A and B are shown apart, each in its own frame.
Chain A
Amino acid sequence: MSSTGATIDFRSVRKTYGKFVALESFSMHVKRGEFMTLLGASGSGKTTALNALAGFTEIDSGEILIDGVPITRLPTEKRDIGMVFQSYSLFPHRNVIRNISFPLEMRGVPRAEARRRSEKALQMVRLDALANRMPHELSGGQKQRVAFARAVVFEPRVLLMDEPLGALDLKLRETLQLEIKDYQRQIGCTVIYVTHDQGEALTLSDRLAVMDKGQVLQIGPPEELYDKPQSRFVAEFVGANNILKVEGAEPGSVMLEGLGRVSGHVAHLIAASFASIRPELIQIRREASGAHRATLAEAVFFGNSVRYVLRAADGKEISAIEPRRPGQDVLPLGTPISFDLNVADLVALKG
């Protein structure tokens, strides 16, 4: 199985349900063979965007193109898009192999060839032994593997996955994440993956788009979204973060919630309303030698690291993650400590 992925373009797509706006000036370009993730809270319009692309929802305005060709007038079955749903959606009256061969049957592929190709797809997801099982005889993870094989067996240029792992437990989710990524690399199709799980999005994606209220807030590779969030929403949604209000600024220094006056390389913060800093970028000092004073309000032991919540002089709580060496004690609550951070690590955020 292999396919040359297509490019996908959403151009200012708008979709309303009555007065409710589900998608608003939604624009996005997905490259050939790219793994793009739509990340957003429930109700942010992710499914609506996929449905618009798959042809299950008519859009009010804008245009969607696959390989540069407008598709908004094409019926679903002509769009050549594979889709995997959270509910698996295996046909309960067909066994595994006949589920997988369904798209080939629809395309009039001769029976023997359809059989051969379906078996190959089943091999890829390592379920060859279950070809004759009925869907209700499979576990959740097996069902989703079959659904995946069925969605790619006809070598679509585009594969859409709508929270495919949402119904599975954590352990299985992690295994399947790796598998999905691996299969996608083998096949080469363009993927749009939907999830509300930021960890999953960071693990899987070549690029990800953070959505809120039907709009794309920021789009970029995982590292970029993690390191350089542009807005408070993205900073809070992707990974753990400390959001500090900018309380005042003058040339050369800014006043920050939790930190007080900070000077040095602060030019980028002067026009910002908030600044963020990742917990792992805060260094805890056991003595009073750090630049900022605080007391320990909370400590959570993770084995390889400890997450501390520090209460700063102004009462602001700041979380910090400290890597831990064997034998190192977790600091008791209430300990007065101090901490340092690199001013250049503070990220400027819009409201």
Chain B
Amino acid sequence: MKLRWTKTTLLLAPATVLAALLFVYPVFGVLKLSVHDGTAFTTDALRQVYNSQLSIIVLQRTFVTAATVTGICLVMGYPMAYFMAGLSPRKRVLATYLILLPFWISILVRTYTWIILLGREGILNKALAALGLTAEPVQLLYTPMAVHIGMVQILLPIVILTCLTSILDVERDLVKAARSLGASPRQAFWKVVFPLSVSGAATGGIICFILCLGFYVTPTLLGGRTSTLIANLIDLQVHKTLKWDLAAVMASTLLAATFSCLLAYWALTRKRSEFATGGLAR
């Protein structure tokens, strides 16, 4: 028993040291920077950020964008996952490959693709003009919409796959049981499959939301001035204005938001595993 404990410690040690050096230490550095000016504790930076209209607007926009993108991903992703769950295993593997295909291409390239599609001279505008629907090019690129589209495209596969896993976790016999007990296919879905997979879908949503909060490339390339997100603002403070303390406050805010999401995630998965394995009651 003791030996095993020592072994575990030894095996975990390198990863722990690495995480401490490369993650925990800098994060504490950032946290400290947001409330400490090098000589004493201060709330200057905090007050500056939270009194600045710009940072409040950008923070708000970041959360609203993250929520909207997550919502769109869930609304699109869950039904797609449900469809995939109904496929034969072979077709499902094929569909999974197709969904994962974009992951083999860098985010940068995928984002640039949207410039080709949505630009003034882009394919979409040319098509609209050719069909005679628009007289002159429509502004599609550098709008919040472009940012949303770009983010959804990148995050949708993750949401589909988490939803798929949770739908496949619902035993097929449960649907058969529901049908034999008088449920129509629709009722079987809403009374059995949905309640049993919704928390899994929600965890996918939380992952998506957390990833959204840190998006940088997409708003930079596809967004205009009205779609700057918090990551862009942090970058600005670090590289252009060199106000690292302000950057640190914003980063800490982001960190706090992420941790709240992780708490929610943890609560959800705990509830899920309780259903699945008997959890606490056993």
Contacts and interface: CB of A to CB of B under 8 A. Distances in A.
Interface of A: 54-56, 75-77, 79, 81-83, 85, 87, 89, 91-93, 102-103, 106-107, 134, 136-137, 150-151, 154, 160
Interface of B: 171, 173-174, 176-184, 187, 191-192, 195-196, 274-279, 281-282
A150 B181 CA distance: 8
Given A106-B187, A136-B274, A137-B281, A93 B180 contact: no
A56 B181 CA distance: 13
Contacts of B182: 77, 103, 106-107, 154
Contacts of A91: 174, 177-178, 191-192, 196
| Max count, chain B CB within 10 A of own CB: residue among A106, A134, A160 | A106
Contacts of A81: 180
A146 to B, nearest CB: 12
Nearest to B282: A136
A136 B280 CA distance: 10
A190 to B, nearest CB: 15
Given A76-B179, A89-B176, A106-B182, 8 more contacts: A56-B176, A75-B184, A83-B177, A89-B174, A93-B196, A102-B178, A102-B191, A107-B182
A87 B174 CA distance: 9
A286 to B, nearest CB: 56
B181 A103 contact: yes
Contacts of B187: 77, 106
Given A91-B192, A93-B196, A102-B191, A137 B278 contact: yes
A104 to B, nearest CB: 9
A77 B278 contact: no
B257 to A, nearest CB: 30
| Max count, chain B CB within 10 A of own CB: residue among A77, A150, A154 | A77
Given A102-B191, A136-B282, A56 B179 contact: yes
B173 A89 contact: yes
Contacts of B281: 134, 136-137
Contact of B275 (A54, A92, A102): A92
A93 B195 contact: yes
A93 B179 contact: no
A113 to B, nearest CB: 15
Contacts of A85: 173, 176-177
A89 B184 contact: no
A55 B184 CA distance: 12
B278 A136 contact: yes
Contact of B179 (A77, A92, A134, A160): A77
A46 to B, nearest CB: 15
Contacts of B191: 91, 102
Q: Which 5 pairs of residues, A with B, have the shortest CB-CB distance?
A: A106-B182, A103-B181, A83-B180, A89-B177, A136-B278
B180 A54 contact: yes
Nearest to A102: B181
Nearest to B177: A89
Contacts of B282: 136
Contacts of A89: 171, 173-174, 176-177
Given A89-B173, A91-B192, A154 B180 contact: no
B255 to A, nearest CB: 34
A83 B196 contact: no
Nearest to B277: A136
A76 B178 CA distance: 10
Contacts of A160: 180
Nearest to A76: B179
B98 to A, nearest CB: 25
A160 B176 CA distance: 13
B69 to A, nearest CB: 29
A134 B280 CA distance: 12
B196 to A, nearest CB: 6
B176 A106 contact: no
Contacts of A93: 195-196, 275
A92 B282 CA distance: 15
B274 to A, nearest CB: 7
B17 to A, nearest CB: 40
Contacts of A106: 181-183, 187
B174 to A, nearest CB: 5
| Max count, chain B CB within 10 A of own CB: residue among A82, A92, A151 | A92
Contact of B180 (A82, A87, A92, A134): A82
Contact of B176 (A83, A103, A154): A83
A76 to B, nearest CB: 4
A136 B177 CA distance: 17
